[in-house]
Structure 1
Amino acid sequence: MSLKLSEREPQQEERIQEARPLIDWHRLFKFCLTPVRKIADIQTPKPIEQAILSVPKPVRVVLFRPILVVAVIFHYWILTLPSPSDPPSEPDMTEEVEEEIQEEEVRITKLQTTQTEPPPQATPPPATPPSNPQPSNRATLPSLEPTPTATPTPTEAPTSSDEPTPTPTPTSTPNPKSEATPEPTPSPSPTPDPGQGTTLEDPFNDFPFPPNAATGSLGLLSAESDAEARNIPSDIDGVYGFYTSVLPERNISIGEPVKNEQNFRIYPLTPQVEGIEPQFLHLVFHQNKTVIFRATQAVTELAALQDAESISVEERQFEQAINAAGNDLTLSQFRGVELAQGATQFCCNPNRYRPKGITVAMFQTTLDDLKATVTSRLQEQSFSIRPTSYQGVEAFEVQLSSFTGYVIFAPAYQQPGRSGPPPYAMFTSTTPP
């Protein structure tokens, strides 16, 4: 029997071990409660003991197990974190795209409203086109029609905002709209061709004279220049007061007199326009009248007035055409640069030869280019041109009515080893060779 019992005991122990769970919850719970038991064994004053015992048992377990509270909070925080496997939300992008689409729709509707503004005004202007072109210049007519179409439309936008649908109609309306409004005329002024634009900008065109001024110089000037002078029964101070009030309006400033005598004064006239040379206003008190004339140089001696030549209309047009040609080719200002051999005489007499510029090597301007541009500008002013030779260099003889002028192409000095076409200096003169 003893042998049988001894054989059964190991078997029972194996069964007990197999029946035991992996975690002994009873021992674990007992271990967790040991701090509570130790606290309970502490002899505390009765008020504190009563206060602790008055708290429910679950609450006491929570209070005396701070690690449990921390664990709960930590797990809650872990569970609230976003999972990396979640797809990124894109509601914001769709909202932004919708907002952009709405903005584009708003912009499109605005453009449609601006295009539909002219239709209500399309009916009355057809009767006006023939009347507007008559007072305007020939050069400005073609430029007025295309340019002002965009400027008048924004002014009347509120009136036509109720009709956003009729989009095909604006194509026929811009032409009468541009012809009916004269306000945009200053903006297209630069569009005419350069030859006519330079003449319109010259402040010396139609030079003013005092009222009741008669033609003639009372014998002071030569017969060729007598028609360009005026005389008036007034003293010099009265004539000077007239010009001080009139010339600033024409962008001409009158300076201090270079000659200031009781019966003879000379005032420099400086235009505030680039490319226009200054002139000199001569006022001579003669035979109880004031003689008025202009010249490119100041004639300071009365005895030399007979030899002085007043500026004629043809000479003024001649100088303007040459200045325009120099601007077209971007000529450099002539500053006494050394000229080639055989042409040095042109830089020593500024009263006879007026420098107009010198070609720049950077622009590769040849002599043929210079001649072609000068010819084009002179022909625009109806000048007749004849190639000639002026003191051994190439030149043009220019004529219009009784005026004769010369355009001189003087070869300039070119540095050795410098590439490009040879430079040329351009001069004008009214004196025969």
Structure 2
Amino acid sequence: MRDDRPPGSRRSCDRRPHRKGDPMIAGGETIATLATPHGRSAIATIVVAGPDAALAVDRHFFPLGKKGASASSVGDILVGHWRDSAEEAGEELVVSRTAAERVEVHCHGGVAASRRILNHLTAAGCREIAWADYARQSEISPIAAAARVALADARTSRTAGYLLDQYNGALQAELTTIAELLETEQVSDAQLRLQTLLAAANFGLHLIRPWLVVIAGRPNVGKSSLINALVGYERAIVFDQPGTTRDAVTAAAAFDGWPVELADTAGLRESDDAIEREGVARARKLQSAADLILLAIDQSAPWTKDDQTLVDAYPHAIIIHNKSDLPAAGDGVRPAGLEVSAERGDGIERLIATIGHAIVPTPPLPGTPLLFTPEQVAAAQQAAALLAEKRPAAAAQTLRMLLT
């Protein structure tokens, strides 16, 4: 399970429009937000932004040096204590003025530490807001804001690289170009570029939503052992009684840098057991939503009509002949597939590489503009429909709504 980008990849850094540095907080208010994820960590960062940001911080920040946040210059790093009064020992932390009306407080990462500071800031007149809301208010465009929020949810560095391209202006520039082409009646060029964007939309949406890979097969073919081998630890219960898995067991993984949610589902067979029938029904529903199906077959058992039925039902599945560590049945009628031993780990690396290539056969080049939210995709689809109706001005207006 690797998370590596191809050697020599380059990311765009210069397309994003220049910002003046101060957050655009509505109404001139001062806000405070926790910029790091909730939970325990080494360091937590609290952003205070607005006209009274430095004054609010100075009410509880006692620097070791001579100047506090209000007297500091942009870029200054101050060390001191956060406390209720000068008599207390307080908590050691770091304060940095990152813009004229923006101060960052870096404290210990425990929940209690950041909560205490936020409570003090709200008592000092700041309004606490969620980090995602702050990101939307402080970015110069909706696309940059959406990319900034998406970056926080990116599961691998490879997908984060593509989102960083969008944050730096790749999608913004492309949509602007398409809108300008439509407004100058260069419809064919605009239509081609819009179709190119939509063709890559499925990839873009998966930058923050993992690809769903479902392991299917008859009972007792080793599906649970396969998911354990793929993620590298025991996620699913392994038992030799057919029908053991009744509900889907999922696990997060990354193959070739692509985030994947693996699902081990109930064995597919007819059963008189009501619970097992429900498990099979849920398995089929999950399989219908899958981006990729791994069809596991026990190569040590004789080939059956039920095996062939499954192969016919999932023509695009990756076929895995599991239990290669056991003597093969040798019936000579099996379809081509990967020979794997989930028990010993034989063939697992090859299977991982095959999965990675199957979900993303041709990765976009670094810097490629990508639609990456459902709202963006819906707007682009609407614009394409308007072009089909020969309404380029309306299509341009639809795309412009994504930009401002």
Structure 1 length normalisation: TM-score? 0.21
Structure 2 length normalisation: TM-score? 0.22
Asked which structure has the greater RCO (Cα within 8 Å, sep 6+), the reply is 2
Q: Which has the larger radius of gyration?
A: 1
